[in-house]
Structure 1
Amino acid sequence: MTIPAFGLGTFRLQDDVVIASVKNALDLGYRAIDTAQIYQNEAAVGEAIEQSNVAREELFITTKIWIENLSSAALIPSLQQSLAKLRTDYVDLTLIHWPSPGAAVSVAETMHALVEAKRAGLTRQIGISNFTTELMQQAIDAVGVDEIATNQIELHPYLQNRKVVEFARQKGIPVTSYMTLAYGKALSDEVIKSIANKHQATPAQVILAWAMQSGYAVIPSSTQRKNLQSNLQAQLLKLDAQDMAEIATLDSHDRLVSPEGLAPDWD
């Protein structure tokens, strides 16, 4: 099984806002939805999916286990709660959202619990998020690389995360990019705008196309139907080698997500 290259993110969207976003996205043809326990929107996402009348087997639903639920005793009960909120018997992908702060729960313990959840039919695939090269190796050592469907990491033109990406590629772990538009900051970049003009595309389409052509899955979010539709068209945009080279020069190691007390020692 592979994960979809393009999906809908729901970070920071709640209640009626996330319901409208998910319903619009599904109506436009999105079929992959990314949520998380800590987003506190799983129930709203589940409601939107139910209202959409899209068949469950057409969807790819991802959720992420919060740090309080990483132990072997807590993980499966918490995932079962997530499934109840999402109104589904299973999710397609379950990720460790962040590594346990201070390694209070070992990577191995959580990965083994995820494998158990997979064997129980609660999730089709398992993976990791915000993992460094060292933490990825711990996950591989625990359950084997074939069990790890993706590492979801902050990745955008200003943080191209090359060390983690190269390690993941060497090991055969697919990468999912989050914060791909850099909180919107990259949309006003002159290099990006120039490439967008060249292709008669939007800056968002250029950035999303760059990420997908680089081999990453993307999960952009939007509350506006027109932006959801526009973002979807990024799958049709083909950047040339010069475009890709120009975007490569934008890397400035500008990390936007590094919560104190939660973030690992980044590569």
Structure 2
Amino acid sequence: MPVPENLHATYAVALAAPPADPRGLARDQVARLVRPPLRDLVLGMLASPLLTLDLRPAREFPPLPMDLLAAYGASRAELGALSAASHLLAVRAAYRPGWPPAHEWAARAVAGAVGAALSMPVLDGFTPQILGRDRLERSLPGPDGTVRLTDWILLPHADGPHGFWFTTNGLARFGLPELLTENVPPTLVEAWGRVLNGLARRLLDLWVERLPAAELPVFVDLPEVVSVSLQDIAAAQGVEESMLREVSLRLRLDEPEGAAPAVLTVLAADDGPDRFDHLCAALFGPS
């Protein structure tokens, strides 16, 4: 698996009027609202070239994807605030792959602090999605440095002629390809979503373990067959699970034609017509 040199995060805050000193506002609000030890990381990024603030009239930015934001749950009031914004503050951060994902944590915390101070919506440019204040604050790491992975990835799925297609939206934040599964039966949509959450958590753990704190490698070897347990699924949701059950999944790195990014296609280790039913039953019991 190729390892990118840097990862990037972009958030935007809609503004009714431009603040006189956006960096000073961000620094003051981070110091006031963000808990340690995250506060020190964010203030350090804010004081460095790794995090930039770009304040401009809204018309100078590309048009915002209002239909997509609505599809991802933006309220009418949030969309109205975006449409009426005179300015946008783009918060951009860069950092190397590994743990912590300082680019994401710092950019989200800065945007959230500014948005909270001005009571204005925050846009996650990756998904894209509007992040309400409570949800944004809940997604940031607590004193122990842990996060719920489900606060950082989405599981959009679409109905096809032979079942549902899933593609994760969020693993690329950490430098990994997104996960793809085809032809999931309608009765297993919820269960398979939980499986993918657990697989994403397990893959991220394997990825981070292979990224040294010193010089990054050009490539990282990840196993073709990965075990996913109920503990992985629970960890993705920020809870604990005592029951010991796991299944094996096979990963295939696919390079689409053109400029589309690579994806990891998720298959059963032992393929067959009832593979999804067997995997879900092995983890969650018969439906």
TM-score by length of 2: 0.26
Larger strand share, 1 or 2: 2
Larger helix share, 1 or 2: 1
TM-score by length of 1: 0.28
